Amino acid sequence: MSGSYSRIVGTGAYLPAKILTNKDLERMVDTSDEWIYARTGIRQRHIAADEEQTSDLALAASRTALATAGIDAADLDLVVVATTTPDMVFPSTACILQAKLGARNCPAFDMQAVCSGFVYGLATADQFIRSGQYRNALVVGAEIYSRILDWNDRATCVLFGDGAGAVVLQRSNKPGIISSHLHADGAHVDMLSVPGTVSGGKVSGRPFVQMDGQSVFKFAVKVLDEVAKEALTANHIEKSEIDWLIPHQANIRIIQATARKLGISMEKVVATVDRHANTSAASIPLALDEAVRDGRIRAGQHVLLEGVGGGFTWGAVLVRW
């Protein structure tokens, strides 16, 4: 088969209509806009409506990505949904999305790597396309974190938001995704988790996000720096050749510290955390879509995507646009 690379040929995004500002949170929990913004860079986040499911958010983002790519859902050979907040225990959100899109018969599965999920999903779809097995793949990051937050816990409830981002990957003769670099270390499983489970028809354990914020911060900055350098070294690319860095949007301090360690100016960093908060697997594709649509990302540029999340998982994907 012709073409040994995959390229991103369409992007899409969806943010729920409801916006919850820091000022709104002041009325819900003992916090302040100043405190939240100074420590996280977050001003607001989007919250899914009661009737919205993760697959609905994914559907809206996917339709935009498909329209931008100029292909029909029926042309898809693979659907991958990165999510930590699936519609239900099973079937996968990817299968539910596939049905809503009308993309019948192609394989569909969920990717669970928490905030690294989109990077993991992109790397996986890229391998299927590089192998020559598939031509068109849809990769989505979609989350409704508002439903796994303890809204009385001011340490976590201020950090997260809901949303979805999607890309269409297509086989090409010229490089798009240059390389991917994935890692995990389960020894850090307790640093960031939602330990609740369903057993005997009841929730067992605590079904809310719990986090050791200081440890997460240190670990995230360390591994994001390492995996970015790994991608650059593997491809003999200097950091000055990176046109745009799109990191997971967890906290502006983590983003700034990562850019500083890499020696990359914040002017080359796409940051949406102020408006989106941490949307986990959706954060990178949401930021990517915004930078593509406002014209910042242009043909021929090098874009470095990188994420880190519970597991602990982390990874990077180097893209030539």
Task: State mean pLDDT over 210-218.
Answer: 97
Residue type, 217: F
**pLDDT above 70 for 3:** no
Same fold, 5-174 and 178-320: yes
Residue 90: pLDDT band by 50, 70, 90 thresholds?
very high
DSSP letters spanning 125-155: HHHHHHTTS-SEEEEEEEEEGGGG--TT-TT
What CA dihedral angle connects 274, 45, 163 and 40, to 10 degrees? 40
Average pLDDT, the chain: 97
For strand 244-247 and strand 302-309, is the pairing parallel, antiparallel, or unpaired?
parallel
Residue range 267-291, pLDDT digits in tens: 999 999 999 999 999 999 999 999 9
* Residues labelled as active-site residues: 115, 248, 278
Closest CA to 162 of 5, 20, 311, 312: 20
Query: Which pLDDT does position 1 carry in this prediction?
Result: 46
Q: Where are the domains of the chain?
A: 5-174, 178-320
The CATH number of the structural domain formed by 178-320 is 3.40.47.10
183-210 burial, b for 16+ CB within 10 Å, e for fewer?
beeeebeebbbbeeeeeeeeeeeeebbb
pLDDT tens for each residue of 23-50? 999 999 999 999 999 999 999 999 999 9
The string of pLDDT tens digits covering residues 92-116 is 999 999 999 999 999 999 999 999 9
161-174: average pLDDT: 98
Containing H/E element for 245? strand 244-247
216-262 pLDDT, tens per residue?
A: 999 999 999 999 999 999 999 999 999 999 999 999 999 999 999 99
Q: Using one digit for the tens of pLDDT, what is the confidence trace for 290-304?
A: 999 999 999 999 999
Select from 1.10.1370.40, 3.40.50.150, 3.50.50.60, 3.40.47.10 the CATH code of 5-174: 3.40.47.10
C-alpha 239/C-alpha 11 separation (Å) is 25
Query: What's the pLDDT score for residue 4?
Result: 87
